């Protein structure tokens, strides 16, 4: 090519290389966009399916409570590996809405409700702590998971003393599952909302919160067995020392302790933990 009397050589190979790089970057960008859209689609699908499953459970609970709140009927206890000694006492009468949920999934062991939040869910229990991480309360595949009880706990033992029950749930960005536990990071909220309710097969129990904090998984706050009272007292001291806010709630080794646990994102493998004691009726 001649321009103004000068000979200019065009390097076609260099231009081809530039075009190749541009096309490659464009292809990578489109692939990443497609991957993100597919991932977002799966997330929306799981969110929708989880909302439908949860609403089904809430409808069962709501309608049963409204129509049969005073009527109970007998049912053999679902213990998931827990055996009770036979007694001469008549079997307890199960709550109708819990039985209806158990007809959908026999691994339903109760219900949790934290007033003023979206936490209003059935509680399930499997033979390990992995199954319901990616399954909803009906046992169907779903990344939202379910609210589930530690497999080592007795689902019928909420009235027992010297015991530690643990419930787990995901921290979902859409505000579902245990995301609303983050409210307890605020001291005013912590003091204005000191209790929550957990229902087992036979009745509802109130728990009052005495300790909340962020911790790593290096701290084993999910111990469930304490051979001696002293062991329980040492554990109680360790979780009280970590609490974010002071509390007037008195706790002892005679109490039934219930813990709510979810992920939080202050650092890798961080957990937000809420500890409460059962209020004696």
Q: Is 170 a catalytic residue?
A: yes
Structural tokens at position 70? 């005073």
Catalytic residue among 7, 171, 205, 263: 263
Q: Is 171 a catalytic residue?
A: no
Give me the residues paired with residue 206 across strands: 197
Catalytic residue among 170, 205, 256, 275: 170
Largest CA distance in the chain: 114
**Which residue, among 169, 201, 249, has the nearest Cα to 77 in the 3D structure?**
201
What is residue 125's DSSP assignment?
-
Structural tokens at position 220? 């084993």
77: left (phi over 0), alpha (psi -120 to 50) or beta: beta
What's the rounded Cα separation, in Å, for the pair 83 and 80? 9
Tell the residue number behind the tokens 């809420």, with chain if given. 274
Catalytic sites, residue numbers: 170, 263
């Amino acid at each position: 090519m001649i321009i103004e009397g000068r000979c200019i050589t065009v390097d076609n190979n260099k231009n081809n290389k530039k075009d190749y790089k541009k096309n490659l970057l464009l292809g990578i960008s489109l692939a990443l966009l497609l991957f993100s859209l597919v991932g977002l689609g799966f997330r929306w699908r799981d969110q929708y399916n989880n909302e439908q499953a949860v609403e089904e459970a809430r409808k069962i609970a709501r309608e049963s409570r409204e129509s049969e709140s005073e009527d109970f009927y007998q049912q053999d206890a679902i213990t998931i590996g827990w055996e009770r000694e036979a007694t001469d006492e008549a079997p307890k009468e199960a709550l109708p809405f819990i039985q209806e949920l158990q007809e959908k999934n026999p691994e339903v062991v109760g219900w949790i409700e934290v007033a003023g939040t979206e936490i209003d869910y059935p509680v399930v229990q499997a033979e390990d702590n992995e199954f319901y991480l990616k399954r909803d309360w009906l046992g169907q595949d779903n990344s939202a998971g379910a609210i589930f009880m530690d497999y080592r706990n007795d689902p019928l033992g909420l009235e027992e003393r010297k015991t530690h029950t643990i419930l787990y749930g995901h921290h979902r960005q859409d505000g579902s599952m245990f995301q609303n536990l983050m409210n307890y990071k605020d001291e005013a909220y912590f003091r204005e909302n000191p209790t929550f309710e957990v229902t087992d097969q036979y009745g509802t129990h109130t728990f009052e919160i005495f300790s909340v904090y962020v911790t790593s998984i290096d701290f084993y706050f999910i111990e469930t067995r304490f051979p001696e009272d002293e062991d329980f007292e040492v554990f109680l001291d360790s979780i009280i020392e970590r609490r974010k806010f002071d509390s007037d709630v008195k706790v002892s080794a005679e109490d039934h302790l219930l813990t709510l646990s979810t992920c939080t994102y202050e650092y890798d493998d961080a957990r937000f933990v809420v500890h409460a004691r059962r209020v004696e009726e």
